């Protein structure tokens, strides 16, 4: 009996083990099978991405026909380099000046590739000045493979904009958008011919606007983008999601010569203004205010009791200039021009340049901490760049020697009659002022107090308290402010 019970119990354990084994095995097989299934993507996600992809494809298809390939060439004459033996006076004395082999300069053809944007159905094309500069022959290739000879209508090296014309009509072209409405983070598409590869499209966002002091051109107000821009893209189109032209691709910031996520484009508003001027007048006409300007630094902000470092500080006002006629003075800080905020000297310079001569504009400025306004009639920028001013920083006045101006000194320095002050005759090595003041500088004001003699200069220094010293000086034909923090 006990033996039978033991057998029955053993059989039961075996059956239970088999059942558990099959269950675990089945479960494992199901789990393994589940892991090998393809991941599921919701139809909603597919629809969203499909619509986005289709939209980008539509914009690209609409834009590409208006972007052209520009190839240029110019002939460079290589100078003849004879062996020094043939130029030896000893041999020329006996054999004459014709001694030596007769050689002619060798011509060498230099080619360049770039891009352009058709902005008019009658064949006007926007591109960069550096794409067509000094070219003897310009060839424009359209997206439909047609090729035309290009003619330069005008160039503006100061902004790196050029206008080229081809003899064709009813061409596809891009509508020019208002680049002032462009926002950081907005999606943009770059179209061009990098490395000679025609009709290349890249996309990205607007990384920044109003970029200046990049060192590419004199007038800079660049759109920065991470859309890939490479050599050959110069002159190509930067467009928004509506297929409108917002910029002309110009340059990249790179340590390797290739794309590193930082590209620059000339805003369409600037490019259009320059193009219109080149077409209608044959030159670029820029506005002129007649002031020398400099940034508002932290030191100047404290000295002039300003709330922030925004604006452009007037270092000097030119005689007979629009600024002088409107009552602007040195020491004023311009904060707004023609309804647009002035952030720094570059933004003011670009704003004034873009205003047509003869137009009256309202200027907001700070004077002694008070908000003021004036109406200025903008004039045309003269050919003599007298309104340009250099800005330098300073630290201290220790080690600075000055003396009264004599008639002979004034004549040697060619100082205007209105320049009155003391002449800097020495700046000791190793002093903070060494990096700022120079021999030949004329200090005209100390903390807004006029100084005409050494005695007045020393008296003004005695009145300096706490925050530091601001100087108004004359250097190399122009006036500027410098601030020296007190130690």
Closest CA to 262 of 274, 254, 273: 254
Q: Are 193 and 115 in contact (CB under 8 A)?
A: yes
Q: How far is CA 358 from CA 86, 274, 377, in A?
A: 63, 17, 6
The domain made up of 287-380 is a member of CATH 2.30.42.10: yes
Q: Where are the domains of the chain?
A: 179-281, 287-380, 400-484
pLDDT at residue 223, rounded to an integer: 93
CATH architecture of 179-281: Beta Barrel (2.40)
How many CB atoms are located within 10 Å of the residue 62 CB? 14
Average pLDDT, the chain: 80
Instruction: Report the distance separating Cα 94 and Cα 86, nearest Å.
Output: 12
- What pLDDT shows up at residue 407? 82
Report the candidate in 379, 382, 335, 334 with the shortest Cα–Cα distance to residue 360: 379
Digit-coded pLDDT (tens) for 372-426: 999 999 999 886 543 333 223 233 466 677 888 888 788 888 888 888 999 887 7
Please report the DSSP string for 164-208 in residue order: EE-S--S---PPBP-GGG--TT-EEEEEE-GGG-SSEEEEEEEEE
CA atoms within 13 A on the CB side of 476: 12
Beta bridge partners of residue 202, listed in sequence order:
190
- 179-281 and 400-484: identical CATH topology: no
d(CA 486, CA 461): 11
Residue-level length of the chain: 487
Token readout for 444 is 């005209």
* pLDDT by 10-residue block (mean), the chain, 487 residues: 54 52 49 60 87 89 93 72 53 52 61 88 94 91 93 93 94 94 94 80 91 78 88 88 94 61 90 94 90 82 82 85 92 92 89 91 91 94 50 46 82 86 78 71 86 83 66 85 67
| Integer Cα distance of 468 and 159 in angstroms | 39
Q: Please identify, in words, the CATH class of the domain defined by 400-484.
A: mainly beta
Burial class (CB in 10 A: 0-12, 13-18, 19+), 117: buried
Which residues are the active-site residues? 130, 160, 234
Q: How many CB atoms lie within 10 A of CB 253?
A: 16
Looking up tokens 């008296």, which residue turns up?
Answer: 459
Contacts of 115 by beta carbon, 8 Å cutoff, 6+ apart: 67, 68, 69, 70, 127, 131, 191, 192, 193, 232, 233, 234, 235, 236, 237, 249
Residues 306/467, Cβ–Cβ less than 8 Å: no
Alpha-carbon gap, residue 354 to 352, rounded angstroms: 5
pLDDT score of 388: 36
């Amino acid at each position: 009996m006990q033996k039978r019970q033991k057998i029955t119990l053993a059989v039961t354990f075996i059956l239970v083990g088999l059942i558990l084994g099959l269950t675990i095995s089945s479960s494992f097989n199901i789990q393994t099978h589940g892991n090998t299934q393809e991941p599921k993507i919701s139809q909603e996600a597919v629809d969203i991405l499909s619509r986005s992809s289709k939209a980008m494809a539509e914009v690209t298809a609409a834009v590409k026909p208006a972007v052209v390939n520009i190839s240029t060439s110019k002939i460079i004459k290589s100078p003849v380099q004879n062996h020094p033996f043939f130029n030896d006076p000893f041999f020329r004395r006996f054999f004459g000046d014709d001694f030596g082999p007769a050689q002619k300069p060798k011509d060498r053809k230099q080619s360049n590739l770039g891009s352009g944007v058709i902005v008019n159905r009658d064949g006007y094309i926007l591109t960069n000045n550096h794409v067509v500069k000094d070219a003897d022959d310009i060839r424009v290739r359209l997206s439909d493979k047609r090729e035309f000879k290009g003619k330069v209508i005008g160039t503006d090296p100061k902004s790196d904009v050029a206008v080229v014309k081809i003899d064709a009509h009813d061409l596809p072209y891009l509508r020019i958008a208002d680049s002032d409405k462009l926002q950081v983070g907005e999606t943009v598409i770059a179209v061009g011919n990098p490395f000679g590869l025609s009709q290349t499209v890249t996309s990205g966002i607007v990384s920044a606007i109003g970029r200046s002091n990049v060192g590419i051109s004199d007038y800079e107000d660049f759109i920065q983008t991470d859309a890939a821009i490479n050599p050959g893209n110069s002159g190509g189109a930067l467009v928004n999601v509506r297929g409108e032209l917002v910029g002309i691709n110009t340059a990249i910031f790179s340590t390797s010569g290739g794309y590193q996520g930082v590209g620059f484009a000339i805003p369409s508003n600037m490019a259009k203004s320059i193009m219109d001027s080149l077409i209608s007048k044959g030159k670029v006409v820029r506005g002129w205010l007649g002031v020398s300007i400099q940034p508002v630094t932290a030191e100047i902000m404290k000295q002039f009791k300003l709330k922030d470092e925004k604006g452009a500080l007037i270092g000097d006002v030119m005689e007979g200039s629009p600024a002088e006629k409107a009552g602007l003075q040195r020491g004023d800080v311009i904060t707004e021009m023609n309804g647009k905020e002035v952030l720094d000297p570059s933004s003011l310079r670009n704003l004034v340049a873009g205003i047509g001569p003869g137009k009256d504009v309202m200027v907001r400025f700070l004077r002694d901490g008070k908000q003021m306004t004036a109406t200025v009639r903008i004039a045309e920028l003269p050919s003599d760049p007298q309104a340009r001013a250099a800005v330098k920083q300073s630290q201290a006045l220790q080690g600075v020697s000055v003396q009264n101006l004599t008639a002979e000194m004034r004549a040697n320095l060619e100082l205007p009659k209105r320049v009155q002050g003391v002449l800097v005759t020495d700046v000791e090595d190793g002093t903070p002022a060494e990096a700022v003041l120079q021999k030949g500088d004329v200090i005209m004001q100390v903390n807004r107090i006029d100084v005409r003699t050494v005695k007045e200069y020393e008296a003004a220094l005695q009145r300096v308290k706490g925050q530091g010293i601001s100087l108004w000086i004359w250097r190399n034909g122009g006036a500027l402010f410098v601030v020296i923090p007190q130690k």
